[in-house]
Amino acid sequence: MIITIIQGGPRAQSQTATVATYLAAQLCANPDVSKVEFLDIREYNFPVYGAGSPGKDRLEDFRTALQHADGILIVSPEYNGRMPGALKNTLDYFRPEYTKKPMGVVTVSSGPFGGINALHDLHAWMMYVGSVPLSSKLLVSNVGNLFNEDGEPQEYHFNKNYPKYLSDFMWLVRKIRS
Ligand SMILES: Cc1cc2nc3c(=O)[nH]c(=O)nc-3n(C[C@H](O)[C@H](O)[C@H](O)COP(=O)(O)O)c2cc1C
């Protein structure tokens, strides 16, 4: 299975990117996963839709990674109760690529609620674009304290919850793609 991860944190020091990188490594180690494509919205840096051109090659790179994916995992921070505008802007460049695609969302917050509002926002978006959303949740709270200095997660709930979440995600991907 090919899994495409969209890293949706726009800040240079994004902690969401650290979580997304960690989850990408875990998926790479899954025997059912042949390839993980990592799309970091900071690297693509698409201009505000309609206000400029992202460049044909960059757009096609992103599109190909969405089209080839058996499943898409979005890792997003919560900004003012929603997904960041920069993530939505990136997602708006595409539409048929999402249809009938198994999709999961992991949300990240520096606070105690794990980005639950961004999760609801992304769930509504996933339904709208006709994807097949995973109903399981992985809410990452207090992300500032999650990783130790070796880059290993040290928080009890995250370490307990992420293997189950990834297992549920892979279950959905296998079901839909079989
Ligand atoms: C513009 C902005 C808005 C934010 N709004 C929220 C919010 O609504 N809820 C929340 O839990 N955290 C919010 N945060 C804090 C993020 O949870 C925090 O930055 C966290 O590290 C994840 O985002 P990151 O990938 O930018 O690091 C916000 C941060 C920024 C920069």
Mean of per-residue pLDDT scores for the chain: 98
DSSP 90-101: HHTT-SGGGTT-
pLDDT tens-place string over residues 140-158: 999 999 999 999 999 999 9
H-run or E-run covering 37: strand 35-40
Second CATH level (architecture) for the domain 2-177 = 3-Layer(aba) Sandwich (3.40)
pLDDT tens-place string over residues 6-57: 999 999 999 999 999 999 999 999 999 999 999 999 999 999 999 999 999 9
Q: What is the per-residue pLDDT for 37?
A: 98
Give the residue-averaged pLDDT of 109-119: 98
The minimum-distance atom of ligand 1 relative to the CA of 15 is 27
- How far away, in angstroms, is 68 Cα from ligand 1 center? 31
- How far away, in angstroms, is 161 Cα from ligand 1 center? 21
- CA 149 from centroid of its chain's CA atoms: 24
Instruction: Give me the residue spans of the domains in the chain.
Output: 2-177
* Side-chain-facing half-sphere of 178: CA atoms under 13 Å: 7
